[in-house]
A and B are shown apart, each in its own frame.
Chain A
Amino acid sequence: MAIKYSELVIEHFKNPHNVGTIDKADASATEGSPACGDQLTVYLKVNPETQVIEDIKFQSYGCASNIVTASIITDLALGKTLEKAKAISWKQAADELGGLPPVKMHCSVLAVDALRSAIKDWEHKHLGTQIEQNITKKNLVKELQKVIYGKVGVDIVSLKLLKYIGIDEKKNVLIELAVSKDDPFIEDLKNEINERMEKFPDVASVKISLV
C-alpha cells in the first residue's frame, strides 16, 4: 500500500508553526540525538501565576513527520496550562494531523516527549519538583510505552510485544520481546529501547532477549 502524508501534514511541513527559539526561555528540553537520528528541542515561556504556556517554540533536526508533529504539538500546547499540556498524547497529535503512517508514529512520540520534558524542566526550575529517575518497573515500563513498533505504529507495551521486564540487584535491566529475529524492525526496536533506558543513569546494563 502506498505510504503517503495527509494534506494537513504537507501543509504543516511547508509552513510549520512555532519554529525557532525563545530568548530567555523559562524552560527547554531536547529529545533524541543526532547519533540515533532525529532530534527535537522545545522552548517554553510560562506564566508563573497561572501556569499557562504563553509562548512555545521548537527546533527539529528531523524528517517531515518530526517537523509536523512538533508543529502540531506546539500549536496544541500554546495557551494551555501545564497540566492540560501534559495530557496531550502522541495519538492525539497524530489524529490532529489527519493520521500518520505507522512507520512515522515514533515522531509523534518524540514530539510529546520533548514537550513533557520541557514542562518537567519548568517544574524542576520553578517548583523544585524532582525529576524522577528511580529504577522501578513502573517507571521503566512508562518509558517503554514510548517505543513504537514501526510496522503498525503502536507502542510495544500496548501491543504486548514486551513480555517481561526485570531489574536485578546490580541494576541490570532484562527485557524480553516477543519479536522474531528476522523482523525488519528489530534493530530499530533495540536502538529505541536502549535510548529510552539511557534516561535512567543508574541502569548498569540493558539486555534484550527475543522470545
Chain B
Amino acid sequence: MSSKEVYLDSCKTSRLAPEVLDAMMPYLTDKYWYPGSFTSIGTEIAEVIENSQEIVAKSLNAKPEEITFTSGGTDANNIAIQGILQANKEKGRHFICSTISHPSVLAVFQGLEKQGFEGTYISANRDGYLNLEELKAAIRPDTILAAFTHINHILGTIQDSNAIRDILDQADHKIYLFMDSCESYTKIPINVEESGIDSLSISVHKFNGPKGMGLLYVKNGTKIAPTQFGIVRLYKLKPGAINVPGIVGTAKAVEMAFSDFDKQIERYRDLQTLLYDEIIKRIPDTILNGPPIGERSPAHLNVTFRFIEGEAIMMMLDFDNIHVETGSACSSQNLQPNYILMNTGRTHEESHGSVRFTLDRFVTKEDILKTVDALEKTAKELRRRSPLGKKEQ
C-alpha cells in the first residue's frame, strides 16, 4: 500500500499525536523515576502527575482529586460500576443499563449478575435515543446505579444526561448516574458540575493519546468501594504501578484536544457534513444510521449501502489504504449482525451493508474526498456483482 493512509476509525483507536510522544519521551527514558517526597527526582515526578491531573480535571470542570488515571476505558468502567454497586449493596442490588450499551460495559454487568446483582435493560428508539419512559418505570426502591453510553459508538447518538438525571431524581433515594464517555469526551463539551453525572469513564487512545490509558471521574461524596487491592501510591481506586509516561501523554492529548476545542468541533462538523453530502450526492440507495447530521456526534457517521455487504466494502477500501468499520455479521467473530443496529429496530440487511466512519484530529478534507471516490467505485463494483437492487437502480 503506497498511497497515504486514510484512517476513519478513531472509535476503535487513533494515531498517537507526535506532540504526545514528545511529551512522553523523557519519562520513558531519562526521567524514569517514581513520585516521592523531599528528593529532587521524586518531587519532580509528583509535580508532573499533579499537573497532569489538573489538566484533565479542568477539561471536565472537575476537581483534581475526582480524577483517577486507569489502564483504559474497561478498567475505569469496572472500577466505577463494580465499586459503586459493591459499596451500596446493603441498600440494594439493582442497576439500570440499556440494550445498546457498549459491549465492555455490558460485560461488567453480566459479571455482576452472576454475583447476585440484578439489572433492567431499557431500550432505545431507531435513532438510538433511550426510552426515558422505560427508565422511569425501571426505577425500584433498591436501584443503586444507572449506567449509559454517553455517545453510542455505533449510531453516534448523544444521550441527554440532564434528562436522565431529572428522572433519576424523581426517586426518593439517591441513584448514581455513570456515563461511559469513551466516545463523547473531546467530541462534545462535558461539564460534570452541570451534567448530573456522578461518574464517567474515558479511553485515551481514541483521541490521539497513548494506548493502555483511561480516565475515571468519580464525584466527591460518591460512595464507592475499591475493587482492586495493592499498594496505594496515588489513588485508592487504582493501586499498583504508576504509568508516568502514560499519565504525561494523557495530559498532553487532553491539553491538545481542549486548547482548540471549538475549532476542532467545527472542523469535525464540516468534515462529517462533507462526507455525508458527497455520499448521498454520488452513491444511490444509502441509509443514514443514527440521528441526522447536526444532532449526532460531530465526529461520527454510519451509513448503510444497500444491496452490498459491509466487510466487502471495508476490504475494497483497505486496498486503497482507507480504514473504516462495519456492522456486518460477516465481519463479526460470531457471525451475528451488530446487536445495537438490531436492538434499534433495524433489519439484518441494514446491518449487513453498514459502514462506520469516525474522525480524529488528523483527518483532512482530502482524506474525506479520497474516501468518497473509493466508496463510489466500490459501491459500483460490488453492486455489479450483487443480485439485489437491479430494478431500483
Enumerate chain A interface residues (CB-CB to B < 8 A): 13-14, 16, 19, 30, 34-41, 59-67, 103, 106, 150, 184-185, 187-188
Contacts and interface: CB of A to CB of B under 8 A. Distances in A.
Contacts of B349: 34-35
B387 interface: yes
A50 B159 CA distance: 66
A37 B385 contact: no
Give the bracket for the number of chain B residues in contact with chain A. 20 to 34
Contact of A188 (B309, B328, B336, B388): B336
Contacts of B309: 38, 61-63, 66
B311 A34 contact: no
A63 B308 CA distance: 8
B385 A63 contact: no
A38 B347 CA distance: 14
Interface string B130-149: 00000000000000000000
A62 B331 CA distance: 11
15 contacts: A16-B385, A37-B329, A38-B309, A39-B388, A59-B385, A61-B309, A61-B386, A63-B331, A64-B311, A66-B330, A67-B312, A103-B335, A150-B334, A185-B335, A188-B336
A36 B335 contact: no
Contact of B307 (A14, A19, A41, A61): A61
Contacts of A184: 333-334
Interface string B330-354: 1101111100000000011100100
Contact of B352 (A34, A41, A185): A34
A19 B385 contact: yes
Given A37-B329, A66-B312, A185-B334, 13 more contacts: A13-B315, A19-B384, A34-B352, A36-B348, A37-B352, A38-B330, A41-B387, A59-B386, A61-B308, A63-B330, A64-B312, A103-B333, A150-B334
Nearest to A187: B336
B32 interface: no
B388 A150 contact: no
A61 B308 CA distance: 6
Contacts of A40: 387
A15 B319 CA distance: 13
A26 B235 CA distance: 74
Interface string B47-58: 000000000000
Contact of A60 (B333, B334, B337, B385): B385
A14 to B, nearest CB: 7
A14 B307 CA distance: 18
Contacts of A63: 309, 311-312, 328, 330-331
